[in-house]
Amino acid sequence: MYPIIMNLNNKRVLIVGGGEVATKKMKMLLRQNAQIVVVSPTITPTLYTYFVNGEIRWLKRSFEAADTKGAFLVIAATNNRDVNAMVGESCLENQLVNIVDSPVDSDFYNMAYLNRGKLKIAISTEGASPLLAKQIKQDLNNFFDDGYEAYLDFLSAAREKIKLLVNDEERKYLLLQELLEEKFRTNEEEREKFFLDIG
């Protein structure tokens, strides 16, 4: 497997199924600004809320082969293996497909995921133990606290300022190394002082 982080901005994402599995997949997809279409005769209350709020489009019916047309990413998440298989068979080779009950027929599968703003960490055991992946995520949650989001924003802004103001490559490298010191991760005053010092 080849791990990537994918930009789904304005991409059409099709989810076939409206149960709890589809709902879990949806929670991560909603943050990606994708155009999400759900095909299912019924959906969970959570999905219905997303639909009412205009966050997703809901086709209230059974799956039809034409539903996959134009979708960049397709997730077959029903509790019916035959329907899931039909979804996979309806996709073209250039479409990314996840069939929840058949990893071998899927192009990708979801991983446990930690998000701290610009810091994103995905954890996979390649299906060996989803529970271990969940446990590792909890361990990482404890290590990478909420403060990392602001720290990464600072690092991004500082890097751009260094690139703009510092011409000497060795000094650039030393400054970028300096930014990794604990004082910058935990102390906002040190961050402000850095910007003043560098001009």
Query: How far is residue 20 from each of residues 42, 44, 98, 109, 119, measured CA to CA in Å?
Result: 11, 7, 16, 16, 28
Query: pTM of the entire structure?
Result: 0.77
* pLDDT the model gives residue 79: 94
* pLDDT the model gives residue 149: 94
pLDDT tens, the chain, 199 aa long: 778 888 999 999 999 999 999 999 898 899 889 999 999 999 999 999 999 999 999 999 999 999 999 999 999 999 999 999 999 999 999 999 999 999 889 998 888 888 898 998 989 887 788 889 889 999 999 899 989 999 999 999 999 999 999 999 999 999 999 999 999 999 999 999 999 988 7
* pLDDT the model gives residue 13: 98
Residue 161: which H helix or E strand, with range?
helix 147-165
* pLDDT the model gives residue 126: 78
- The residues near 139 (Cβ < 8 Å, ≥ 6 apart) are none
The three state secondary structure string of 69-104 is CCCCEEEECCCCHHHHHHHHHHCCCCCEEEECCCHH
Report residue 9: phi and psi, to 5°: -55, 120
